[in-house]
Amino acid sequence: MRQIAVAVHSGRVPGLAEKARQFVEALAARCPDAVLLVGGYWGHMVDVVDAALQRRLRVVLFLPVEKEDVDVPPQAIALRTGCEYRCRSVLMIRSADAVVVLGGGVGTMIETLMAYAMGKPLFVLAGTGAASDKLRVAYPDYFDERAAVRTVYAEDPAELAALACAAERGTATNFG
């Protein structure tokens, strides 16, 4: 079972919904047994969850205490973490075999840094128009001198899905 955390904007960024759907479609084709770990069910997280469920992927939602009452699709597993936003992100990222960043703001970037600090294979969609696009400029390879994990950037959502699927199979270190 491949557990892939998907970090994505909790609001709306023009064009990101389509990129999220393209990612999920490609991921479902390459990793049909994947379990997606998502931080909630609002903003672009809805796009990821709905696309995944339509393609019969399993989805686990890590709901923060502030949004435990959000209505979620019955096919999704909702974990009411009892944690505030950042705390629930720790649980989600720690549970992942790989982390995919589809674009977002500070919350998404915090999850990205957590993945790096935890040594999780890390894949970031570039060119989304979201604030997280700045990560590639600031950190083209590694986030610090520890070189914990090389961050892999891609502009094509399908390529990102292929990279994440391959990484989960233990080949993350093979990506240039």
Q: What is the 3-state secondary structure (H, E, C) of 85-145?
A: HHHHHHHHHHHCCEEEEEECCHHHHHHHHHHHHCCCCEEEECCCCCHHHHHHHHCCCCCCC
Tokens (6 digits) for 140: 């083209």
What domain range includes position 142?
A: 2-169
Q: How far is CA 55 from CA 15, 18, 31, 34, 46, in A?
A: 21, 15, 11, 11, 14
Residue 176, domain member (yes or no): no
Classify residue 94: in a domain, yes or no. yes
How many domains does the structure of the chain reveal?
A: 1
Confirm whether 174 is domain-assigned: no
According to the model, what pLDDT value does residue 176 have? 39
pLDDT band at 72 (very low <50, low <70, confident <90, very high): very high
CA terminus-to-terminus distance, the chain: 25
pLDDT, tens digit (0-9, with 9 covering 90-100), for 46-65: 999 999 999 999 999 999 99
> Does residue 135 fall inside a structural domain?
yes
Kindly tell me the sign of the dihedral angle through the C-alpha atoms of 137, 99, 77, 20: positive
Domain annotation covers residue 175: no
Whether pLDDT at 168 is above 80: no
pLDDT score for 102: 98
Is 52 domain-assigned? yes
Q: The whole model's pTM is what?
A: 0.94
Q: Decide if pLDDT at 18 tops 70.
A: yes
Q: Is residue 134 part of a domain?
A: yes
- Please state, in angstroms and rounded to a whole number, the distance separating the CA atoms of residues 172 and 44: 26
The overall average pLDDT reported for the chain is: 94
Instruction: Answer yes or no: are the C-beta atoms of 81 and 93 closer than 8 Å.
Output: no
| Residue 50: inside a domain | yes
CATH number of the domain at 28, please: 3.40.50.450
